Amino acid sequence: MTTFVGLDLSWTGRYETGICWLEGESGSELSCTRIEASVRSAQSLAEELAAVEGPVVVAIDAPLIVTPERWVEREIGRRFSRYKASAHSANLDLLIRNGLTAGMDLAHALGDAGFALDAAALLGGDRRGRFAFEVYPHTIHVRLFGLSERLPYKPGRGRRVAMRRRVLGEYQSHLQRLLAREARGVLRNADVTDVLAPETAAAARGRGLKHLEDTLDGLTCAISAFLAWRDPDSWEVLGEATNGYVVVPRERDAAES
Protein backbone atom coordinates (compact mmCIF):
# COMPACT_ATOMS: atom_id res chain seq x y z
CA MET A 1 0.00 0.00 0.00
CA THR A 2 1.31 3.44 -0.93
CA THR A 3 0.90 6.41 1.39
CA PHE A 4 0.44 9.92 0.01
CA VAL A 5 0.94 12.86 2.33
CA GLY A 6 0.23 16.54 1.78
CA LEU A 7 1.74 19.21 4.04
CA ASP A 8 0.90 22.90 3.91
CA LEU A 9 3.89 23.51 6.13
CA SER A 10 4.18 26.35 8.62
CA TRP A 11 7.55 27.87 7.73
CA THR A 12 8.30 28.56 11.40
CA GLY A 13 6.68 25.57 13.09
CA ARG A 14 4.86 27.95 15.47
CA TYR A 15 1.64 27.97 13.46
CA GLU A 16 -0.65 25.28 12.13
CA THR A 17 0.45 22.97 9.34
CA GLY A 18 -2.24 21.56 7.04
CA ILE A 19 -1.86 17.77 7.05
CA CYS A 20 -3.56 15.15 4.89
CA TRP A 21 -2.75 11.44 4.57
CA LEU A 22 -4.14 9.24 1.79
CA GLU A 23 -3.65 5.50 1.22
CA GLY A 24 -4.31 3.33 -1.81
CA GLU A 25 -3.21 2.81 -5.36
CA SER A 26 -6.24 3.78 -7.46
CA GLY A 27 -8.67 6.65 -7.39
CA SER A 28 -11.61 4.45 -6.43
CA GLU A 29 -9.85 2.76 -3.51
CA LEU A 30 -7.86 5.73 -2.27
CA SER A 31 -8.88 6.56 1.29
CA CYS A 32 -8.20 9.49 3.57
CA THR A 33 -6.89 8.39 6.95
CA ARG A 34 -6.16 11.84 8.34
CA ILE A 35 -6.98 15.45 7.57
CA GLU A 36 -6.27 18.29 9.99
CA ALA A 37 -4.38 21.48 10.69
CA SER A 38 -2.20 21.42 13.79
CA VAL A 39 1.03 22.84 15.17
CA ARG A 40 3.84 20.41 14.43
CA SER A 41 7.62 20.70 14.33
CA ALA A 42 9.59 19.68 11.26
CA GLN A 43 11.38 17.01 13.30
CA SER A 44 8.18 15.40 14.57
CA LEU A 45 6.72 15.33 11.05
CA ALA A 46 9.91 13.77 9.70
CA GLU A 47 9.91 11.09 12.38
CA GLU A 48 6.28 10.22 11.68
CA LEU A 49 6.88 10.01 7.94
CA ALA A 50 10.02 7.94 8.38
CA ALA A 51 8.04 5.40 10.45
CA VAL A 52 5.59 4.67 7.62
CA GLU A 53 6.18 1.28 6.01
CA GLY A 54 6.26 0.89 2.24
CA PRO A 55 6.28 3.51 -0.51
CA VAL A 56 5.57 7.09 0.55
CA VAL A 57 5.07 10.22 -1.56
CA VAL A 58 5.03 13.57 0.26
CA ALA A 59 4.09 16.87 -1.41
CA ILE A 60 5.06 19.92 0.65
CA ASP A 61 4.12 23.57 0.26
CA ALA A 62 7.30 25.20 1.64
CA PRO A 63 10.81 25.89 0.32
CA LEU A 64 12.74 22.63 0.73
CA ILE A 65 15.97 23.25 -1.16
CA VAL A 66 17.18 26.84 -1.02
CA THR A 67 20.52 28.16 -2.24
CA PRO A 68 21.63 31.63 -3.36
CA GLU A 69 21.24 30.33 -6.94
CA ARG A 70 17.58 29.32 -6.56
CA TRP A 71 15.60 30.68 -9.52
CA VAL A 72 12.42 28.61 -9.61
CA GLU A 73 10.21 31.50 -8.44
CA ARG A 74 11.24 33.49 -11.50
CA GLU A 75 10.14 30.61 -13.70
CA ILE A 76 6.83 30.32 -11.86
CA GLY A 77 6.34 34.04 -12.46
CA ARG A 78 7.13 33.66 -16.16
CA ARG A 79 4.59 30.89 -16.61
CA PHE A 80 1.88 31.82 -14.14
CA SER A 81 1.92 35.62 -13.76
CA ARG A 82 -0.91 35.95 -16.27
CA TYR A 83 -2.99 33.96 -13.76
CA LYS A 84 -1.81 36.25 -10.90
CA ALA A 85 -0.12 33.18 -9.43
CA SER A 86 3.47 34.34 -9.04
CA ALA A 87 5.44 33.25 -5.96
CA HIS A 88 7.53 35.17 -3.43
CA SER A 89 11.25 34.49 -3.80
CA ALA A 90 12.80 32.14 -1.24
CA ASN A 91 15.86 34.16 -0.19
CA LEU A 92 18.22 32.00 1.85
CA ASP A 93 19.57 34.79 4.06
CA LEU A 94 16.11 36.15 4.84
CA LEU A 95 14.69 32.71 5.62
CA ILE A 96 17.48 31.99 8.07
CA ARG A 97 17.40 35.47 9.63
CA ASN A 98 13.64 35.28 10.22
CA GLY A 99 13.56 31.67 11.40
CA LEU A 100 11.58 30.47 8.38
CA THR A 101 13.59 27.28 7.93
CA ALA A 102 11.01 24.57 8.66
CA GLY A 103 10.93 23.46 5.01
CA MET A 104 14.70 23.14 4.80
CA ASP A 105 14.79 21.43 8.20
CA LEU A 106 12.14 18.94 7.11
CA ALA A 107 13.92 18.26 3.82
CA HIS A 108 17.19 17.60 5.64
CA ALA A 109 15.53 15.23 8.11
CA LEU A 110 13.67 13.35 5.38
CA GLY A 111 16.85 13.07 3.33
CA ASP A 112 18.60 11.53 6.35
CA ALA A 113 15.67 9.08 6.62
CA GLY A 114 16.18 7.89 3.03
CA PHE A 115 13.61 9.97 1.18
CA ALA A 116 14.58 11.13 -2.31
CA LEU A 117 14.30 14.91 -2.56
CA ASP A 118 14.82 14.86 -6.33
CA ALA A 119 11.50 14.24 -8.13
CA ALA A 120 13.20 12.82 -11.24
CA ALA A 121 12.77 9.16 -10.29
CA LEU A 122 9.14 9.63 -9.27
CA LEU A 123 8.28 11.41 -12.51
CA GLY A 124 10.27 8.77 -14.35
CA GLY A 125 7.75 6.17 -13.18
CA ASP A 126 9.26 4.81 -9.94
CA ARG A 127 6.29 3.66 -7.86
CA ARG A 128 8.08 1.90 -5.04
CA GLY A 129 10.29 4.63 -3.65
CA ARG A 130 10.02 7.16 -0.83
CA PHE A 131 9.84 10.71 -2.16
CA ALA A 132 9.36 14.25 -0.89
CA PHE A 133 9.02 17.24 -3.21
CA GLU A 134 7.95 20.88 -3.15
CA VAL A 135 4.68 22.12 -4.62
CA TYR A 136 2.98 25.50 -4.90
CA PRO A 137 -0.82 25.13 -4.56
CA HIS A 138 -1.72 28.12 -6.76
CA THR A 139 -0.06 26.44 -9.76
CA ILE A 140 -1.97 23.25 -8.99
CA HIS A 141 -5.27 25.11 -8.77
CA VAL A 142 -4.72 26.99 -12.02
CA ARG A 143 -3.97 23.86 -14.00
CA LEU A 144 -6.07 21.15 -12.33
CA PHE A 145 -9.11 23.37 -11.77
CA GLY A 146 -8.78 25.05 -15.18
CA LEU A 147 -8.76 28.57 -13.71
CA SER A 148 -8.21 31.80 -15.61
CA GLU A 149 -6.94 33.42 -12.40
CA ARG A 150 -5.71 32.14 -9.03
CA LEU A 151 -8.13 31.84 -6.12
CA PRO A 152 -7.52 34.83 -3.77
CA TYR A 153 -8.43 33.01 -0.54
CA LYS A 154 -5.42 34.09 1.54
CA PRO A 155 -5.43 37.26 3.71
CA GLY A 156 -4.63 40.42 1.81
CA ARG A 157 -5.44 44.08 1.41
CA GLY A 158 -9.11 44.61 0.68
CA ARG A 159 -10.04 40.96 1.27
CA ARG A 160 -12.82 41.14 3.81
CA VAL A 161 -14.07 38.11 5.71
CA ALA A 162 -17.12 37.76 3.45
CA MET A 163 -14.91 37.67 0.37
CA ARG A 164 -12.56 35.09 1.86
CA ARG A 165 -15.49 32.89 2.84
CA ARG A 166 -16.87 33.11 -0.67
CA VAL A 167 -13.54 32.22 -2.29
CA LEU A 168 -12.91 29.39 0.18
CA GLY A 169 -16.33 28.07 -0.85
CA GLU A 170 -15.18 28.15 -4.48
CA TYR A 171 -12.01 26.32 -3.43
CA GLN A 172 -14.12 23.64 -1.75
CA SER A 173 -16.25 23.20 -4.88
CA HIS A 174 -13.22 22.85 -7.14
CA LEU A 175 -11.64 20.26 -4.83
CA GLN A 176 -14.94 18.36 -4.60
CA ARG A 177 -15.12 18.09 -8.39
CA LEU A 178 -11.44 17.14 -8.71
CA LEU A 179 -11.80 14.37 -6.13
CA ALA A 180 -15.01 13.08 -7.72
CA ARG A 181 -13.16 12.85 -11.03
CA GLU A 182 -9.75 11.58 -9.93
CA ALA A 183 -9.99 10.07 -6.43
CA ARG A 184 -13.59 9.49 -5.47
CA GLY A 185 -12.62 7.11 -2.66
CA VAL A 186 -11.36 10.08 -0.65
CA LEU A 187 -14.89 11.51 -0.52
CA ARG A 188 -16.02 8.58 1.65
CA ASN A 189 -14.22 10.08 4.63
CA ALA A 190 -16.57 11.99 6.95
CA ASP A 191 -13.88 14.51 7.89
CA VAL A 192 -13.25 15.28 4.21
CA THR A 193 -16.99 15.72 3.71
CA ASP A 194 -17.01 18.21 6.59
CA VAL A 195 -13.97 20.12 5.30
CA LEU A 196 -15.62 20.44 1.88
CA ALA A 197 -19.09 21.33 3.16
CA PRO A 198 -20.28 24.81 2.07
CA GLU A 199 -21.49 25.56 5.59
CA THR A 200 -17.94 25.05 6.91
CA ALA A 201 -16.68 27.96 4.82
CA ALA A 202 -19.81 30.02 5.44
CA ALA A 203 -19.36 29.76 9.22
CA ALA A 204 -15.59 30.32 9.33
CA ARG A 205 -14.29 33.43 11.06
CA GLY A 206 -11.09 34.58 12.74
CA ARG A 207 -8.64 31.72 13.15
CA GLY A 208 -11.22 29.41 11.62
CA LEU A 209 -10.60 30.96 8.21
CA LYS A 210 -6.86 30.22 8.42
CA HIS A 211 -7.56 26.74 9.80
CA LEU A 212 -9.81 25.90 6.84
CA GLU A 213 -7.35 27.43 4.37
CA ASP A 214 -4.49 25.30 5.75
CA THR A 215 -6.63 22.15 5.75
CA LEU A 216 -7.73 22.63 2.14
CA ASP A 217 -4.13 23.30 1.07
CA GLY A 218 -3.01 20.12 2.84
CA LEU A 219 -5.65 18.18 0.90
CA THR A 220 -4.51 19.83 -2.34
CA CYS A 221 -0.93 18.78 -1.64
CA ALA A 222 -1.96 15.20 -0.82
CA ILE A 223 -4.01 14.70 -3.99
CA SER A 224 -1.09 16.20 -5.94
CA ALA A 225 1.23 13.58 -4.42
CA PHE A 226 -1.16 10.86 -5.60
CA LEU A 227 -1.64 12.28 -9.10
CA ALA A 228 2.09 12.82 -9.67
CA TRP A 229 2.65 9.18 -8.66
CA ARG A 230 -0.23 7.86 -10.79
CA ASP A 231 0.27 10.05 -13.87
CA PRO A 232 3.91 11.22 -13.80
CA ASP A 233 3.88 12.29 -17.46
CA SER A 234 1.26 14.91 -16.57
CA TRP A 235 3.66 16.68 -14.17
CA GLU A 236 6.92 18.55 -14.62
CA VAL A 237 9.76 20.06 -12.61
CA LEU A 238 10.42 23.79 -12.66
CA GLY A 239 13.86 24.75 -11.37
CA GLU A 240 16.76 22.49 -10.48
CA ALA A 241 17.07 19.70 -7.94
CA THR A 242 20.34 21.13 -6.62
CA ASN A 243 19.15 24.74 -6.23
CA GLY A 244 15.44 24.40 -5.56
CA TYR A 245 12.50 23.26 -7.63
CA VAL A 246 8.71 22.98 -7.64
CA VAL A 247 6.66 20.18 -9.19
CA VAL A 248 3.64 21.45 -11.15
CA PRO A 249 0.97 19.91 -13.39
CA ARG A 250 1.76 20.22 -17.08
CA GLU A 251 -0.41 22.60 -19.07
CA ARG A 252 -3.19 20.68 -20.74
CA ASP A 253 -4.52 21.20 -24.24
CA ALA A 254 -7.87 22.96 -24.40
CA ALA A 255 -9.44 19.73 -25.62
CA GLU A 256 -8.33 18.00 -22.41
CA SER A 257 -9.62 20.69 -20.05
Question: 72 CB contacts (<8 Å, ≥6 apart)?
Answer: 238, 239, 240, 243, 244, 245, 246
- The model's pLDDT over 50-87, given as tens digits with 9 standing for 90+, comes to 999 999 999 999 999 999 999 999 999 999 999 999 99
Return the pLDDT at 254: 45
- The model's pLDDT over 202-227, given as tens digits with 9 standing for 90+, comes to 999 989 999 999 999 999 999 999 99
Q: Which CATH class is domain 3-249?
A: alpha beta
Return the pLDDT at 257: 42
Q: Does the pLDDT value for residue 255 go beyond 60? A: no
The answer to whether residues 181 and 172 touch, using CB atoms and an 8 Å cutoff, is no
Q: What is the pTM of this model?
A: 0.96
User: In the predicted model, what is the mean pLDDT of the chain?
Assistant: 95
Alpha-carbon gap, residue 57 to 117, rounded angstroms: 10
Return the pLDDT at 158: 64
Q: Does the pLDDT value for residue 95 go beyond 70? A: yes
**213: helix, strand or coil:** helix
Residue 252 binned pLDDT confidence (cut-offs 50, 70, 90): confident
Return the pLDDT at 155: 82
